[in-house]
Amino acid sequence: MAELNFGGVLETVVTSKEFSLEKAREVLKNETIAVLGYGIQGPGQACNLRDNGFNVIVGQRQGKTYDKAVEDGWVPGKTLFSIEEAADKGTIICMLLSDAGQIAVWPKVKPYLTAGKTLYYSHGFAITWNDRTGVVPPDDVDVMMVAPKGSGTSLRSMFLEGRGLNCSYAVYQDASGRAEDKAIAFGIGIGAGYLFKTTFQREATSDLTGERGSLMGAIEGLLEAQYEVLREHGHSPSEAFNETVEELTQSLMPLFAAKGMDWMYANCSTTAQRGALDWAPRFRDAIKPVMEWLYLSVKTGNEAQISIDSNSQPDYREKLNAELKAMREKEMWRAAETVRKLRPENEEL
């Protein structure tokens, strides 16, 4: 473990340099990893583990994602099973169903969590809000988490590019005395870039805040607000979209991703610098109360309950798809399609 300075605060992180893939394989050599659920994280983690030489099986109900598992090379009856069969055969049972799906299958999976097995999560949700999820693991199993800080789709694509995605890890219950080693080995196995330590509770609250906030919800709201104002003042869709989204993702975000916010500023005009420096605190002050509201709503379990209630409905997928369709069909995102086609690298499309 390396102690690193994060902006003046010392934190311990694990990298694949100190915890090699060979060591990870050694730690998990007697384990059968059963990945339950083959949605977004399931394929990323299962395929990376398989390519890294671990013993992996998949448990998935029949349907579209079962067929995807077959396409990805999982063989029915050999490496692809029903959820119950995989839970029976696995020694590390990985709950990679949707967070609502985990509640539904818990009563079916729990009987297979016999002494000495490990229960694995990629989110603190089920355990943190177990007053709402009903997930209370038996005392004689390890309970651990590795939470990739990004989409399962990126976990896989970055692995194939030879890069790694940062993950957090945590141990909730250490029955074997080896749970931390197993969690780190698992993280290295799925292709973590580096791993930082957390708790189930801290991961759950920061993750729900982040995705509702700057990673997804807040950014969508911010971009929409600016696009609408520009359009309402007579700017064309192409101008409004370029000035709101395209320039951000294609030109400016890569600059602050690579070398920090001041580097992005340093590469913009003095006019932009002056104005953005003045407006940043106004936006921060306007947004901070909403962020506080969001954090409280997460911390009290309110957000978890909303997600359980809506995602447990039999027609949740249809309803979500309808909301995403409405988003796609907004003028702003239809304009985006044309803008993307005009990127020089896409011009032939």
Ligand X SMILES: NC(=O)C1=CN([C@@H]2O[C@H](COP(=O)(O)OP(=O)(O)OC[C@H]3O[C@@H](n4cnc5c(N)ncnc54)[C@H](O)[C@@H]3O)[C@@H](O)[C@H]2O)C=CC1
Q: DSSP string of 112-148? A: G--TT-EEEESSSHHHHTHHHH-----TTSEEEEEEE
**Among 142, 203, 207, 303, which residue interacts with ligand X2X (rule: CB under 6 A)?**
207
Nearest C-alpha neighbor of 30 from the set 51, 10, 6, 55: 55
Stretch of 44-52, 149-157, 233-241, 322-330 lying at the interface with ligand X2X (CB under 6 A) = 149-157
Q: Which does 191 bind (CB under 5 to 8 A by kind): Mg ion, ligand X2X, ligand X, none?
A: none
CB of 22 to ligand X, least distance (A): 26
Binding status of residue 104 toward ligand X by CB under 6 A: yes
Nearest to 145 by CA among 169, 129, 125, 127: 169
Residue 123 touching ligand X (CB under 6 A): yes
Query: Least distance in Å: CB of 305 to ligand X2X?
Result: 17
Closest approach of ligand X2X to the CB of residue 149, in Å: 6
Stretch 27-46 residues interacting with ligand X2X (CB under 6 A)? none
Residue type, 103: I
Longest dimension (CA), the chain: 67
Nearest residue (CB) to ligand X, 41 versus 244: 41
Per CB under 5 A, 88 contacts Mg ion: no
DSSP string for 168-232: EEEEEE-SSS-HHHHHHHHHHHHTEEEEEE--HHHHHHHHHHHHHTTTTHHHHHHHHHHHHHHHH
Any alpha helices (H) in 233-269, and if so which ranges? 237-241, 247, 253-259, 261-266
Cβ atoms of 39 and 151 closer than 8 Å: no
- Among 219, 186, 160, which residue's Cα sits nearest to residue 91? 186
Tokens for 283? Answer: 């936006």
Among 14, 35, 41, 57, the residue binding ligand X under the rule CB under 6 A is: 41
- 100 counts as binding ligand X2X under rule CB under 6 A: no
The pattern of x and - marking residues 204 through 233 that bind Mg ion according to CB under 5 A reads ---x---x----------------------
- Tell whether residue 53 is a contact of ligand X2X (CB under 6 A): no
Note the residues at the interface with ligand X2X (CB under 6 A).
Answer: 149-151, 207, 211, 215
Note the residues at the interface with ligand X (CB under 6 A).
Answer: 37-42, 60-61, 65, 96-99, 101, 104-105, 122-123, 125, 147-148, 151-152
